[in-house]
Amino acid sequence: MRTLVLPEGYTSKLSLRDTQKAIKLIKDTFQVKLAKALNLERVTAPVIVTKGSGINDDLNGVERKVEFDMKEIEGVAEVVQSLAKWKRMALDRYGFNPGEGIYTDMNALRRDDDCDNIHSLFVDQWDWEKVITDDLRNIDYLKDTVRRIIKALCETQKVLEAEYPVLKKEINEDVFFVTSQELLDMYPTLSSKERENAVVKEHGTVFIMQIGGVLSNGEKHDGRAPDYDDWTLNGDIMVWNEPLGSALELSSMGIRVDSNTLKYQLEVRDSLDRLVYDYHQGVINNTLPLTIGGGIGQSRLCMFLLEKAHIGEVQVSVWPKNMREICKAHNITLL
């Protein structure tokens, strides 16, 4: 369990019942505005995939997946950790064209995640993916997409505030863009998380770009799998969480690898053995479409807009017993 942040004098602005109503309002509103902003269609998505398929996300490569055998099916099933690879294959299978995309509810279990104010074993997010052409694999298109997502977020906040005037979260729609190397140059004595806090506190809404590669100090800003995001064309959307006094990551996203970047990033991570999988062959042989995509945390978005101090106030999950006791003593009600 990570260190808990316990805001002094914290009280939820909404009752438990109104919190539930507000969660539904946020989710119903945001997904419609996101779909309109990015031209996305809703699809269904898997909760489990077969082990060894190469579809499941390896995250940082060390997390244990939740897996089990099956009564009538050979092999082992795994609960997904994200849908980054599945979405790209789905766009090809369903026949989507450039400029068109999909979004879905992604529900995952990450058994090795530490629990704290913003981390849970249960992950719920809107996963989205969109077909693009080669000429759009650039920073300008990435930035335009980020601005569209933030606009959908701001529009959702206005709908929420109209229904619950006590919620007056101000969101800076003017996104500050910075690369992970530029951020290191700005704050050379700080850790990566401290750098995030410093820049987001100053600007409110920030997109930190180019995550996954090694920086000038010999370290990575944060971990990224080598086989979906192009490390030069990706990033994290971050906002300022006032109750916790820290930056909050709402989304990890990016333009996806093409044949050249996939081979390069797999080689850097000593993971060329993954090239045997259908997904990787599809990228290498240019049979899968070029795409941009990401995930937007549903509970994190609700936590942010409802000005909550703990993600357990907006999602039902399993928490350490001592965390429940500490939160209760500090007026934080976990669902």
Q: What is the pLDDT of residues 98-109, one digit of tens each?
A: 999 999 999 888
Instruction: Output the pLDDT for position 81.
Output: 80
Would 54 be classed as within a structural domain? no
Tokens of 99: 């400029």
Question: Would you say residue 127 lies in a domain?
Answer: yes
* Amino acid identity at 159: V
What's 313's DSSP letter? G
299 in a structural domain: yes
CA torsion angle for 230, 178, 150, 299 (degrees, to 10)?
A: 70
Q: What percent of the chain has pLDDT over 70?
A: 98
Is 212 contained in some domain? yes
Q: Tell whether 57 is covered by a domain.
A: no
**Average of per-residue pLDDT values in the chain:** 93
- Please state whether the predicted TM-score (pTM) of the whole model is above 0.75: yes
Identify whether 56 is part of a domain: no
Q: What is the per-residue pLDDT for 252?
A: 94
| Number of neighbours of residue 264 by Cβ within 10 angstroms | 14
Spatial distance between the Cα atoms of 146 and 320, rounded to a whole number of angstroms: 35
Strands 246-256 and 176-179: unpaired
Report the pLDDT value the prediction gives residue 59, as an integer from 0 to 100: 66
CATH code of 199's domain: 3.30.930.10
Q: Please indicate, yes or no, if residue 65 is contained in any of the structural domains.
A: no
Q: Which two tokens stand for residue 330?
A: 């500090």
The structural domain count of the chain equals 1
Residue span of the structural domain in which 189 resides: 16-48+82-329
SS3 label, residue 285? coil
pLDDT in tens, 219-263: 999 888 899 899 999 999 999 999 999 999 999 999 999 999 999
- The Cα–Cα gap between 249 and 228 comes to 19
How many other β-carbons are positioned within 10 Å of the β-carbon of residue 334? 16
User: Is 71 part of a structural domain of the chain?
Assistant: no
Per-residue pLDDT, 159: 96
Give helix then strand counts, H and E, for the chain.
9, 11
Residues of the chain with pLDDT under 70: 1-2, 58-62
Write the CB contacts of 72 (distance below 8 Å, at least 6 apart in sequence): none
Asked whether the beta carbons of 106 and 124 are under 8 A apart, the reply is: yes
Hey, which residues are catalytic here?
A: 57, 110, 125, 236, 249, 252
pLDDT of residue 250: 96
Residue 2 is predicted with a pLDDT of 66
Element (H, E) at 160: helix 139-163
Q: Which residue has the tokens 């077909």?
A: 131
Report the candidate in 295, 301, 258, 265 with the shortest Cα–Cα distance to residue 87.
295
pLDDT at 263: 96
For the record, the structure tokens of 285 come out as 């042989």
